[in-house]
Amino acid sequence: MAINFSAYLAFSGETPEALEFYKSVFGGTVDLNKFGEMGAGAGFDPDAIMHGQLTTDAGWTLMAADSTKPGDELVRGGSTLTLWGDEHETMEQQFKKLAEGGTIGTPLEKQMWGAVYGDLTDKFGITWSFNIG
């Protein structure tokens, strides 16, 4: 069996919106499971997302959930999701879509190592970097 990796992002009630946004960027299918549907007991918001998953058109997976308990403090940041590849046009469009409502830290530009690189923080506080080349 192969070893796979995927990121699991935490949100505070924004999981459906965030995964639909990422779907608009990367394509794919979103599946959502609410705490109430999964049988979670008292102390959990039954409408909050216990597990959400975007399976992208490229075959990789991005998972997410809402804070597990009401009142949990959500700490944003601390990680960067990195995409690298040689599909310049596709990746440039993905970068532009992720930047909508967010903040570009480094514009997509050719760098000293020869690749085109850029980074941004999207409207959900997630940091992304792109290395194209």
The pLDDT tens digits of the residues spanning 109-128 come to 998 888 999 999 999 989 89
Whole-number CA gyration radius for the chain: 16
- Domain at 7-66, CATH from 3.40.50.720, 3.40.50.450, 3.10.180.10, 3.20.10.10: 3.10.180.10
Q: Over the stretch 13-51, which tens digit does the pLDDT of each residue have?
A: 899 999 999 999 999 999 999 988 877 777 778 888 988
Region(s) of the chain under CATH 3.10.180.10: 7-66, 80-132
Q: What are the φ/ψ torsions at residue 40 (nearest 5 degrees)? A: -65, 140
Phi, psi of 50 (to 5 degrees): -80, -40
Helix, coil or strand: residue 119: strand
The residue among 7 and 30 whose pLDDT is bigger is 30
Higher local confidence (pLDDT), 83 or 19: 19
Torsion, Cα of 81, 84, 88, 91 (10° steps): -20
Place 78 in a pLDDT band, splitting at 50, 70 and 90. low
Torsion sign over Cα 20, 48, 122, 3: negative
- Residue 76 pLDDT > 60: no
The per-residue pLDDT for 101 is 97
